[in-house]
Structure 1
Amino acid sequence: MARRAGSADLPLHGGRVPPWLANRMTRLGAVVTEAIVHHYGRDELLRRLAHPFWFQSFGAVMGMDWHSSGITTSVIGALKRGLGPLSGELGIHVCGGRGKHSRQTPHELVTIGDRVGFDGAVLAQASRLVAKVDSAAVQDGFDLYLHGFVVTNEGNWVVVQQGMNDESRKARRYHWLSEGLKSFVDEPHSAIDGEKQGKIVNLTDHRAEASRRAQLDLLAEIGPDGIAREFATLEGCRGKLNSEQLVLPHLVMPAHHDVRAKDVLAPRLHATLAAAADRGPADFAELLLVPGVGARTVQSLAMVAEVVHGTPYRFTDPARFSFAHGGKDRHPFPVPTRVYDQTIGVLKSAVRKAKLGNDEELAALKRLDDQARMLERRVSGPSVEQFIAEERFQSHALGGRSVFGWEPEPEEKGAGGLRN
Structure 2
Amino acid sequence: MEVEGIADLPLHTGHVPPYLIPIMRRLSSGIIRIMIDEWGPSKVVERLSNPLWFQGLNNVIGMDWDSSGSTTVTLGILKEVVGHEYGLAILGGKGKSSLRIPEEIDSLNFDVDKEKLKEVSKLVAKVDTTAIQDGYQLYHQSLIVSDEGKWGIIQQGMNEETKFARRYHWVNQASTTSVHDVAGLKSNSSVNVVMDEAQGARRVVLDLIRQDPRKVIREIEEAESMLKGRSNIMFWVNGGTESFVSPQAKLVYMKPIDIKKIGEVISKLNEFSPASFDEALLQGLGPSTAKALYLVADLIYREPPSYSDVANIPYDPFKYAFAVGGKDGVPYPVNRRVAYEVIRTLENMIERSKLDRKDKKIAFRRLKESIGRT
- Tell whether the structures are fold-level matches, with TM greater than 0.5: yes
Distance 1:231 1:108, change over 3 A: farther
Is 1:131 the counterpart of 2:121 in the alignment? no
Q: Give the secondary structure class of the aligned counterpart of 2:122.
A: helix
1:357 aligned counterpart, secondary structure: helix
Determine whether 1:81 maps to 2:80.
Answer: yes
From 128, 145, 152, give the equivalent of 1:151: 145
Unaligned runs of 5+ in 2: 1-6, 231-242, 249-305, 359-374
Q: Are the aligned partners of 1:53 and 1:251 in contact in 2 as well (CA < 8 Å)?
A: no
**For structure 1, which runs of at least 5 residues remain unmatched after alignment?**
1-7, 254-315, 360-420
The reply to whether residue 102 of structure 1 matches residue 98 of structure 2 is: yes
CA 1:193–1:110: 2 relative to 1, 3 Å: farther
- Equivalence for 2:185: 195
2:203 maps to 1:213: yes
Matched residue, 1:257: none
Asked if 1:337 corresponds to 2:336, the answer is yes
Q: Do the aligned partners of residues 211 and 24 (structure 1) sit closer, same or farther apart at CA in structure 2, a change above 3 Å counting? A: same
Aligned residue in 2 for 1:232 = 224
- Equivalent residue, structure 1, for 2:3: none
TM-score by length of 2: 0.70
Tell me: higher relative CO, structure 1 or 2? Use CA pairs within 8 A at least 6 residues apart: 2
Deviations 1:382-401 (A, max 9, x none): xxxxxxxxxxxxxxxxxxxx
Q: Distance in 1 between matches of 2:149 and 2:354?
A: 24
Q: Secondary structure at the match of 1:250?
A: coil
Secondary structure of the corresponding residue to residue 156 of structure 2: strand
Name the counterpart of 2:354.
355
- What SS does the aligned partner of 1:327 have? coil
**8 A Cα contact 2:186 2:309, kept in partner:** yes
Tell me if structure 1 keeps the 8 A contact 2:136–2:166.
Answer: yes
Cα distance between partner residues in 2 of 1:55 and 1:204: 23
- Tell me the TM-score normalised to structure 1 length: 0.62
Q: CA deviation at 1:61?
A: 0.8
Instruction: Check conservation: 1:218, 1:227, Cα contact below 8 A.
Output: no
Q: How many Å apart are 1:192 and its aligned residue? A: 4.2
Pair 1:243–1:216, CA change in 2 (3 A)? farther
Q: Pick from 228, 247, 251 the counterpart of residue 308 of structure 2.
A: 247
Question: In the aligned structure 1, how far is the partner of 2:120 from the partner of 2:334?
Answer: 38
Matches of 1:208 and 1:145 in 2, distance apart?
Answer: 27
Q: Distance in 1 between matches of 2:71 and 2:313?
A: 15
Structure 1 residue 341, shift from structure 2 partner = 1.8
Report SS of the residue matched to 1:335. Answer: coil
Deviations for 1:389-420, whole angstroms, at most 9, x for unmatched residues?
xxxxxxxxxxxxxxxxxxxxxxxxxxxxxxxx
Q: Which moved more, 1:237-246 or 1:140-149?
A: 237-246
User: Is the CA contact (8 Å cut-off) linking 1:175 and 1:191 kept in structure 2?
Assistant: no
- Using the TM superposition, name which of 116-125 and 316-325 deviates more: 316-325
Query: How far apart, CA to CA, are the structure 1 residues paired with 2:313 and 2:89?
Result: 29
TM superposition shift of 1:123: 0.3
Whether contact under 8 Å (1:171, 1:194) holds in the other structure is no
- Counterpart residue number, 1:399: none
Q: Contact 1:172–1:193 at 8 Å: present in 2 too? A: no
User: Percent of counterpart pairs with the same letter?
Assistant: 37
* Aligned mates of 2:355, 2:325 — CA distance in 1: 33
The one-letter amino acid paired with 1:105 is: I
Structure 2 residue aligned with 1:174, among 156, 168, 173? 168
Q: How many residues align?
A: 281
- Distance in 1 between the 2:327 and 2:113 partners? 40
| Letter of the structure 2 residue corresponding to residue 137 of structure 1 | A
- Please say which structure displays the higher CA radius of gyration: 2
For 1:91, the aligned partner's letter is: G
